[in-house]
Amino acid sequence: MSNENLSNKEAIDKLKDLVNRIDIAMMISFPKNSHYPYMTPMSRQEVDDDGDIWYLISSESETSKNLQSNNKISLAFGDPGSYTFLSIDGIAELSQDKSKIDKYWSKFMEVYFEKGKEDPSIRVLRVTPVESHYWDSKTNKFMTLIKVASAAISGQKIDIGREGELNI
């Protein structure tokens, strides 16, 4: 893989593209009295123009409780079918911003919040990336394996994709 570090708008555009393509991340928070992180799958609501990633979560969730004592958070996105991955370490901020709740509310959210949009446990979670690294192949998994095998046999260098830091 070729190394391609991106900054500013290019980094935000790449982050948006990858998060929107993959959608589900393993959200990793850090419990106060544990030696191990807590992980849960989460679907994003939006990646904004600043590169912040937004979620709706419950104040009763383990993630929300963990963030009360440690606002550091990690997101791990992965699509093995396309050999595309994204790792984000960032800072989390929880709020009860009604305008954001209105913006991100959908029928799908009713599954998680029985009292609807007025549920007092709804929290808006903003993740501001501090460090990000991506791996993005140019083809699907099968074609990547074919290219790697061909390069191994022929000894030729091939470009199977890009990896790098996203400096937002």
pLDDT digits (tens, 9 = 90+) for 36-87: 999 999 999 999 999 999 999 999 999 999 999 999 999 999 998 888 999 9
Closest CA to 133 of 37, 40, 24, 1: 1
CA atoms of 120 and 156, how far apart (whole Å): 60
Residue 162 has what pLDDT? 84
Instruction: Determine the pLDDT at residue 146.
Output: 52
Cβ(106)–Cβ(136) under 8 Å?
no
Question: What predicted TM-score, i.e. pTM, was given to this entire model?
Answer: 0.86
Rounded to 5 degrees, what are φ and ψ at 75? -125, 130
Tell me: the pLDDT tens digits for 101-122? Answer: 999 999 999 999 989 999 999 9
Mention every residue, 6+ apart, whose C-beta is less than 8 A from residue 29: 37, 38, 62, 63, 66, 67, 70, 73, 92
| Domain map (residue ranges) of the chain | 2-167
DSSP string, 65-102: HHHHH--EEEEEEEETTTTEEEEEEEEEEEE--HHHHH
Do residues 75 and 90 lie in contact, with contact meaning Cβ atoms separated by under 8 Å? yes
3-state helix, strand and coil shares in percent for the chain, rounded to the nearest 5:
30, 40, 30
Residue range 2-167 forms a domain whose CATH class is mainly beta
